[in-house]
Amino acid sequence: MEKANTAALEALLGHHFQRPDLLHRALTHSSRAREQEASAGGKIIDNEQLEFLGDAVLGFVTSEELYRRYPEFEEGHLSKLRAHLVSGRHLVRVARELDLGNYLSLGRGEEKSGGRSKAALLVNALEAVVAAIYLDAGLEKARELILQRVLLPELRQIPGGTTVPITDYKSTLQEVVHSTGHAQPSYVLVKEEGPEHRKTFTVEARLHKGGGEHHPEFVARAAGPTKKRAEQEAARQALEYLGSLPLPASKSKHSEKSQ
* Number of alpha carbons in the 13 Å side-chain half-sphere of residue 60: 14
Looking at this protein, which amino acid is placed at residue 207?
A: L
Q: What is the dihedral of CA 117, 139, 152, 237, to 10 degrees?
A: 70
Catalytic residue among 55, 65, 204, 231: 55
Report the candidate in 9, 48, 29, 5 with the shortest Cα–Cα distance to residue 115. Answer: 29
198 with 192: CB under 8 angstroms? no
Report the candidate in 2, 7, 4 with the shortest Cα–Cα distance to residue 17. Answer: 7
Is 213 catalytic? The answer is no
Neighbour tally for 29: CB within 10 Å: 24
27 with 105: CB under 8 angstroms? yes
Terminus-to-terminus CA distance in the chain, angstroms? 58
Per-residue DSSP letters for 68-87? HH-TTS-HHHHHHHHHHHTS
Catalytic residue among 35, 110, 127, 204: 127
Is 127 catalytic? The answer is yes
Query: Phi, psi at residue 238, to the nearest 5°?
Result: -65, -35
Give CA–CA dist 42/247, Å, rounded: 53
Give CA–CA dist 60/183, Å, rounded: 23
What residues act catalytically?
55, 127
